[in-house]
Amino acid sequence: MRVAQPFQYQGSKRALAAKILQYLPVGVQRVVEPFAGSAAFSIACAARCRAKEFWLNDFNKPLSELLGLIINHPEDTADLYKATWRGENEDALEHYYQIREDFNRTNDPGLLLYLLARCVKGSVRYNSEGLFNQSPDKRRLGTRPDTMRENILAVSMLMKGRTIVTSHDYRDVLANCRESDVVYMDPPYQGVCGERDSRYLSGISFDDFVAALDQLNERGVRYIISYDGRLGDQTYGQPLPDYLALTLVEIEAGRSSQATLLGRQDVTFESLYLSKPLSEALGAQPCVQHRNSTTQMRLLESPSQYGIIST
């Protein structure tokens, strides 16, 4: 099933959304994404009619405003992109740099859409001052306006009228989640990023994140987390503590682009953590989801390093 996506975004779970949705209960009233990014998970969820309402949040305000424009003002957003896009003109690269400068001066979310469509591999980069500094992809000119319009309209049709979009600290979002919600979190990967990474305007503290999860547990709010992972035998990130009682599902994501470039065969596995109320309701067990099969976690050599409690 093809699900429209207006822009690429590094770290997006678009390719894994169908597998993650296996762990979303039937009849969910609202899905909450405190780290929405491109909202790939919620868009896939809406396309499959898996929830009635959505709350998209991202601390990156221009990004969250862009999501709001796409959902609530699709025609205007598509028109702006068409006016901004520079096709076959010889000055396409200079045009990109001018748009980037304009965006860094104004934080106009409409300009951000062009930058995301045109920059290298949808790979967002910010400097220490919070300015967008990624270069253009010289091999491509970005999504063509007609295709962009189709994608924007498709997303708006799925999400308009049942989605709120905000730009708050994730902890404020979690504090206002309801027991009937299911929260999907895809935070900056602590194992790769620490508390500062050029891909994000702001990192998050590991301790603060754990404390927020503990509070969700106390309130009985169900949640799913995409967090850390491994490449071959190398793991990334400090394990989430055992007392959170999370169930780990590893999802095979294929070879990373870096491994491919180096001619290596290492396979990337994304970690998916399920809260205790959610895993118990679903009867979920720790496991490894390969492309064509699922293996119980006990087959791994060192499952303890992932902080598994419930089985």
Q: Along the 311 residues of the chain, how does pLDDT read in single tens digits?
A: 567 788 877 666 777 888 899 999 999 999 999 999 999 999 999 999 999 999 999 999 999 999 999 999 999 999 999 999 976 656 888 999 999 999 999 999 999 999 999 998 777 888 888 899 999 988 878 889 999 999 999 999 999 999 999 999 999 999 999 999 999 999 986 544 444 444 444 578 899 999 999 999 999 999 999 988 777 777 777 789 999 999 999 988 776 555 554 455 678 888 899 999 999 999 999 988 876 655 544 333 333 333 333 32
| Residue 78 and residue 149 in contact, taking contact as beta carbons nearer than 8 Å | yes
Domain 1-186: CATH class, spelled out: mainly alpha
**pLDDT value at position 257?**
53
**pLDDT value at position 142?**
84
Side chain identity, residue 171 = R
- Could you write out the DSSP letters of every residue in 64-98? HHHHHHHHH-HHHHHHHHHHH---S-TTHHHHHHH
**pLDDT value at position 28?**
96
Residue 229, both tokens? 């992972």
Single out the residue of 166, 156, 176 nearest to residue 73, CA to CA. Answer: 156
Q: At 308, is the secondary structure helix, strand, or coil?
A: coil
Determine the Cα–Cα distance for residues 3 and 60; give it in Å rounded to an integer.
Answer: 24
**pLDDT value at position 235?**
77
Determine the Cα–Cα distance for residues 111 and 121; give it in Å rounded to an integer.
Answer: 17
**pLDDT value at position 80?**
96
Q: At 173, is the secondary structure helix, strand, or coil?
A: helix
**pLDDT value at position 140?**
78
Q: At 297, is the secondary structure helix, strand, or coil?
A: helix
Residue 35 has a CB neighbour count (10 Å cut-off) of 21
Q: Alpha carbon of 151 to those of 3, 34, 120, 257: distances in Å?
A: 9, 23, 20, 26
Domain ranges of the chain: 1-186
| Residue 124 and residue 202 in contact, taking contact as beta carbons nearer than 8 Å | no
**pLDDT value at position 297?**
40
- Could you write out the DSSP letters of every residue in 187-242? ---HHHHTT--TTSS----HHHHHHHHHHHHHHT-EEEEEEEEEETTEEESPPPPG
Q: H/E element holding 309?
A: none
**pLDDT value at position 294?**
52
